[in-house]
Chain A
Amino acid sequence: MDKIVENYFNLQVMVEAFPTVLGGFGLTVLVSILVIILGIGVGLGFAVLHCMNSRALSAAIVVYVDLFRTLPQLVVIIFVYFGLPYAGLALSPFATTVVALALVLSAFATEIFHSAIRAVPRGQWEASEALGFTYFRALFLIVLPQAIRLAIPLLTNRAIAISKGTALGTAVALPETLGQAQSVMAIVANPSPLTLAAAFYLTFFIPLVIASRWVERKFSPRSR
């Protein structure tokens, strides 16, 4: 028992590690928020383009979605970091992690939004068109608001899952929470900083999960 406390809950080690891990935590939060905003924004844009009745455009979007849904996140990160410089685009570890995870989230978000748009009953389109809405206006004013409500639960789950992938940024030396904890751990030869990192993850992701539940409840379809 003492061994466990000594190794994993060593207060002195934790206090020393705190500033470093906290710095990493700030980065984790920043990366996650950027990934969620970019990933969901791009996903929504692609889902709308997918509805534009252009075969070529839709085919390109399907390839994009299937590619980034299938590749492991770590592979995408490494490809962006080590591959893109050959194309003349060298990104920092920070930009790499944001771009790679946003690519992955946007692929899932495109698919989720697109399925949600198709799940809106045909009668909604017909009623809109009978009233005189053009296809675009029916899409933006009537169908999309309903589709977004349908998409929210799936989207929040996926966004949280992918945000946890920020820890993979260590692979390209991004000094995020887990990476910082590990480097301190190596120096002090004690794994307590990991506990600290875990605590930080919880302080971020638990509120995120609670917030997502709230959003889900707020936007769930109303019924009798």
Chain B
Amino acid sequence: MTTSTLAAADTAPMIRLRGVSKWYGDFQVLKKIDFEVARGERVVICGPSGSGKSTLIRCINRLEDHRDGEILVNGVTLDHSMRSVAAVRQDVGMVFQQFNLFPHLTVLQNLMIAPMKIKGVSKDEAEATAREYLLRVRIGEQAHKYPGELSGGQQQRVAIARALCMKPTAMLFDEPTSALDPEMIKEVLDVIVELAGQGMTMVCVTHEMAFARTVADRILFMDKGEIVEEAPPEAFFTNPRNERTKAFLGQILHR
């Protein structure tokens, strides 16, 4: 790579969607979505259930395929080729609502398997990295337990560490605290806030508005497959322009 293309890669958006549409049968889940995330930017997506938030972020690492439009991730255009999908998945980590840890592997093995099998990292190196990230998500002592022996909050922190062990350049979070008991939400959000502070590019679907306010550079509101509002947190909360955003915020903030 020459210096000029490197420089271009640095200023180009980490994630860019242009006119992305997707259908489930006759039902259009995504309607011509235009959406960019700059390097190091933190974007929060909110919106009513069924509005297409999960579908949107799952298109970014091709857990779902889109029909129209273009998706570019870290300079790679997503298409049907295995190579583009593999490249994008190496760059982008994902954390799910239901954690999805591998129940037959210990915490440490959960963190080591992908770096070893996919990147060909040596066992010692994979273990060193895994232990480092376990400390960062504050579960250093649980390395040899199985996921089923951990609380939901601990499992989700392991899931975050597992994604980080692949050294992604961006992270996707799909309602990472929605399946958690209230008293465990904070321990997970704290880890994500810390990650944001270290400059990780992230897209997070969440309804934790206090978290969104501290962490987000930009908040997107989705409804019926469209992005209907897009603003920095202050403007988003104090001066929403769209009626649907106002109604949604009214519901979610005054509960």
B67-104 interface bits toward A, Cβ cutoff 8 Å, 1 = contact, 0 = none:
00000000000000010001001101110101011111
Annotate B131-158 by CB proximity to A: 1 below 8 A, 0 otherwise: 0000000000000001011100000000
**Does B189 interact with chain A (Cβ within 8 Å)?**
no
Seen from chain B, the residues whose Cβ lies within 8 Å of a Cβ on chain A are 61, 63, 82, 86, 89-90, 92-94, 96, 98, 100-104, 113-114, 117-118, 146, 148-150, 159, 162-163, 166
Beta-carbon contact of A133 and B117 below 8 Å: yes
- B82 near A134 with CB under 8 A, answer yes
Q: List 11 A-B contacts (CB under 8 A).
A: A127-B94, A127-B102, A129-B89, A130-B89, A130-B163, A131-B163, A132-B86, A132-B114, A132-B166, A142-B113, A221-B103
Contact among A131, A137, A142, A222 for B162, CB-based, below 8 A: A131
A residues contacting B by CB (< 8 A) are 121, 123-124, 126-127, 129-134, 137, 141-142, 145-146, 149, 221-224
Given A130-B63, A133-B117, A221-B148, A146–B103 Cβ distance below 8 Å? yes
Residues A130 and B94 in contact, CB atoms below 8 Å apart: yes
Residues of A within 8 A of B163 (CB): 130-131
Measured CA separation A139–B114 after assembly (Å): 14
- In the complex, the answer to whether A123 meets B96 with C-beta atoms within 8 Å is yes
CB nearest neighbor in A for B94? A130
Cβ contacts under 8 Å, A129 to chain B: 63, 89
Chain B nearest CB, measured from A218 CB (Å): 12
Q: Is the CB of B114 within 8 A of A133?
A: yes
Q: For A123, what are the chain B residues with a Cβ–Cβ distance below 8 Å?
A: 96, 98, 100
